[in-house]
Amino acid sequence: MFEDFAYARPESVAQAAQLLQDETAHALAGGSDLLGCLRERIFPVKTIVSLSSLKELRGIARTAEGGLSLGALTTLAEVAGSTEVQTLYPGLAQAAAEVASPQLRNQGTLGGNLCQKTRCWYYRGDFDCLRKGGASCLAVHGENHLHCIFGGDACYMVHPSDTAPMLQALQATVWVAGPAGDRSLPLEQLFMPPAQDPTRETTLQPGELVTHIHLPPPMAGQQTSYRKVRARRSWDFALAGVALAVIIEDEIVTSCRMVLSGAAPFPWQATQAEALLTGAALTRERVRAAASAAMQGAEPLTHNAYKIELFKGIIQEELARLVRE
């Protein structure tokens, strides 16, 4: 059923990086996404590079600064269940807990959740989709109920991750190992906008793999949350999601980061809403205004205009919980 492939289980990150330089080599972490891609033969796979021996990529540790370092192979269930995550970044524990189903959270990893492929049915299904090398995006004039309202260009997928928007709201840094050594980048730079390259999901270079995600220590008074709406209540990706990291001091919002899932081909930072909220008191009127601001410039397709109302709804709902009246 699958194409023939070689299976390698490197003992070190350097070896893994070496093996992953081949474009037809793919990293296997939890496998919950890769297995489906293999079955559907979405892209050629000649070598599977299992990361299972790389124990150093697993687990959650405190950083010297007081933040957390999350190994890329930490399972989503471990992230959701970690007391430290729950205490320092409750929104991240929520986001990890909202992914898929219990079985998939036990198997799927944080690194895999960031690097997964889109769930667009034209990409996954038996269609000649642009991202797979086809002539054009079929969703743009097709069944685009689940597709993006922001950031679409050539491809109109939505990024499927629940943890990515929350990590972006928390200003996470991604550590990457590669043939040229280690480097770090802000999480938002991990994702490849389709305008730049509609055939790649990440900016990782051949041979690179995500090793850790670093979170800065939570700022005093920071409140975090992740809210997700989906077509069914388990085992489903977001129709719309909002990750919030907000600090309110003396009734005034001093810092606000709002990142949306289900909106764009990458986690969508609602900068206009952030700007509107920052420096002002959080009132019900401002909440409504922020929800509208977040949707400014949205470009819905034929079947997904509902997302505008939906995003406004969840943003209002989430911000309203912070209002003290």
Partner 1 sequence: MADSGYFDPVSPLIQPARPGEAPHPWGHTTLIGQRIPRVDAYERVSGAAVFPSDVQLPGMLHAAILHCPYAHAIVRRLETTRAKALPGVRDIITAETPEAKISWPYGEGYAPPLFDTQLRFEGEEVAAVAAETPWQAWDAVRALEVQFDERPAAVAERLALTEKAPNVHPGGNLARPIQTYARGDLGKGLAEAAVVLSGSFRTASQLHIPLERHGCVAMWDGDGLTVWESTQGVFPVQEQLAAVLGLPLTRVRVRGGYVGGGFGSKLQTSKYAVIAAILARRTGRPVKLFLSREQTMLSMGLRPAAIMEMQLAAKGDGSLTATSLSVLASGGAYGGAGSALVDWLAKDLYRCPNVRTELTDVMLHSQPARPFRAPGYPQGAWALEQMMDRLADALGMDPVALRLQNIPTVSQARDGSPAYTTTGLKACLEEGAAAFGWQESRQRTAAQPATFTTRRGVGMAACNWLVGGGFPPATVVLKLLGDGSIILNMGASDIGGGTKTIMAMVAAEELGVTLDRIHIEHADTATTQYATASGGSKTVPTEAPAVREAAQELKRQLLGWAAEELGVKAEALRYEGASIVVINHQEKKGKSPKRIAVTNLARLRQQRVAMGVGHKRANPKNKAICPFGAQFCEVEVNTLTGEVRVVRFLACHESGRVMNRLTYDCQVHGGVVMGTGFALTEARILDAASGKLCNRNLHDYKLPTMLDVATQTVSLPLKLPDDAANSAGAKGLGEPVVVPTAPAIANAVADALRPWQVRCTATPITPAALLQALAAAKEA
Interface residue list for partner 1 (CB under 8 A): 1, 101, 119, 121-122, 124-127, 138, 141-143, 145, 229, 231-236, 239-240, 304-307, 309-310, 312-314, 316-317
Closest approach of Cβ 296 to partner 1, in Å? 18
For residue 103, the surrounding DSSP H or E stretch is helix 102-107
Residue closer to partner 1 by CB (options 17, 295) is: 295
Residue closer to partner 1 by CB (options 32, 75) is: 32
Closest approach of Cβ 237 to partner 1, in Å? 8
Residue closer to partner 1 by CB (options 126, 250) is: 126
Closest approach of Cβ 172 to partner 1, in Å? 27
Residue closer to partner 1 by CB (options 21, 235) is: 235
In sequence order, the 6+-apart residues with CB closer than 8 A to the CB of 260 are 150, 165, 240, 241, 242, 243, 267, 268, 269, 270, 294, 311
C-alpha–C-alpha distance, residues 318 and 286, integer Å:
13
Residue closer to partner 1 by CB (options 57, 129) is: 129
Residue closer to partner 1 by CB (options 91, 262) is: 262
**Three-state SS at 288:** helix
Nearest to 137 by CA among 159, 150, 120: 120
C-alpha–C-alpha distance, residues 202 and 117, integer Å:
9
- Other beta carbons less than 10 A from residue 308's beta carbon: 19
Closest approach of Cβ 122 to partner 1, in Å? 8
Closest approach of Cβ 286 to partner 1, in Å? 16
In sequence order, the 6+-apart residues with CB closer than 8 A to the CB of 208 are 17, 20, 176, 177, 178, 179
Closest approach of Cβ 1 to partner 1, in Å? 5
